[in-house]
Amino acid sequence: MPGPKEASTDEINNYLRPLVDELMLLYKGITIDTYNCSGALVRAALLMVACDIPAARKTCGFTSHNSTCACYKCNRQFAHVDGTTAVNYFGLKFSEWVGRTKEENRRHANLWKNAKTLTERKRLEIENGVRWSELHRLVYFEPVRATIIDPMHNLFLGTAKRMMDIWIANNLLDDKDFVEMQEEANRMVLPVGYTTLKIKIGKKFPFMKADEWKSWCLIYSPVLLKTRLRDDLLGNWIHFVDAFFIQNKNK
């Protein structure tokens, strides 16, 4: 897509349309010339869309995470915190959770597409949390099931950063801890494929990239936090690290 800015919600379908045209053709199958006279029949399908949250919502036709229908997996409508635009996620009971279905989602998308005015479309967005996406033309594709937040954003740039911010805000790690952890980190030898953190631990992790958070979580943190973080918090963190390892074991 041409820059310098990402495509807006109104523009995204213009870019998806030629892609979907080709995906529809590939799903039926095309013949690729080979050394064999008959060639090879090749078919392809879109299995999932993996992006950060804003891109995932735009691409698959869902409203944003701070909208009334903030969850694209269920039908709940969320209120906002008084006096703010922030969504109030409090009170979600899984026993009362009602998931969206493929059929329902497609019906809401078609309602939005066929709406005659912007006002009507806005009302449907508030009621259903769904817009039309060109991906709905793929009859086999299920946006509710197949839209995921990719690990880089969900784990590396999301949860890991959030946990560190909480520890710092609650004085669970102090300046002395960060200085000492940096000194220890500089004596560590990392496996091939991991980014060395030469100064960022001591500076409390400024401007960290995904590969740097990966190194912190999988290599540095189990060693450096062991004598510094409270036992119950460390135990919870190690569970998170274990999940990291499972997710990365085939990469």
Label residue 28 by pLDDT band (50, 70, 90): very high
Label residue 4 by pLDDT band (50, 70, 90): low
Among 130, 147, 164, which residue terminates a domain? Answer: 147
Q: Do residues 137 and 21 both lie within one domain?
A: yes
Q: Do residues 139 and 158 both lie within one domain?
A: no
User: For position 1, what pLDDT does the model report?
Assistant: 65
User: For position 27, what pLDDT does the model report?
Assistant: 96
Highest averaged pLDDT of the listed ranges 61-70, 92-101, 183-192: 183-192
Q: Do residues 170 and 141 both lie within one domain?
A: no
Residue 80 contacts residue 88 (beta carbons within 8 Å) = yes
User: For position 247, what pLDDT does the model report?
Assistant: 73
- In this model, does residue 245 exceed pLDDT 70? yes
Find the domain containing 78 and state its range: 12-147
- In this model, does residue 90 exceed pLDDT 90? no
Residue 129 lies in a domain: yes
Mean pLDDT of 111-127: 95
Among 126, 147, 168, which residue terminates a domain? Answer: 147
Total domains in the fold of the chain: 2
- In this model, does residue 238 exceed pLDDT 80? yes
User: For position 250, what pLDDT does the model report?
Assistant: 56
Residue 105 contacts residue 143 (beta carbons within 8 Å) = yes
Q: Concatenated DSSP letters for 153-211?
A: IIIIIIIHHHHHHHHHHTTSS-HHHHHHHHHHHTT--PPTT----SSTTTTT-TT--HH
Q: Do residues 119 and 207 both lie within one domain?
A: no
